[in-house]
Amino acid sequence: MAESQLPFAERVAAVLDELRPSLRADGGDIDLVSVDEASGRVEVRLTGACKHCPASVFTMAYGVEARLKQALPTVRDVVAV
């Protein structure tokens, strides 16, 4: 099955898997909480060291959100919950 034929949640999860090694290198990780393909909303949870890191806002905006929007143009909103 071609990647573009995978369900939206699986495509989001695959992008998060690409980001995981960098987060884990700093003692953190990321969980996919929910996706809404119709609205383009993705909810994630930073865990481990990333959960309370002062730079987590930058990690979300310039790392997670930017990469998801680059890989999946239908992603409109990425929210840390």
Which domains does the chain carry? 3-80 (3.30.300.130)
37 pLDDT exceeds 70?
A: yes
Residue type, 80: A
Joined together, the tokens standing for residue 16 give 């998060």
* 1 — pLDDT class (breaks 50, 70, 90): low
Distance separating alpha carbons of residues 15 and 69, to the nearest angstrom: 10
Please answer whether residues 68 and 74 qualify as being in contact, where contact means their C-beta atoms are separated by less than 8 angstroms.
Answer: no
* 18 — pLDDT class (breaks 50, 70, 90): very high
The conformation of residue 6, written as its DSSP 8-state character, comes to S
Distance separating alpha carbons of residues 26 and 74, to the nearest angstrom: 29
Percent of the chain scoring above 70 in pLDDT: 95
Q: The whole model's pTM is what? A: 0.91
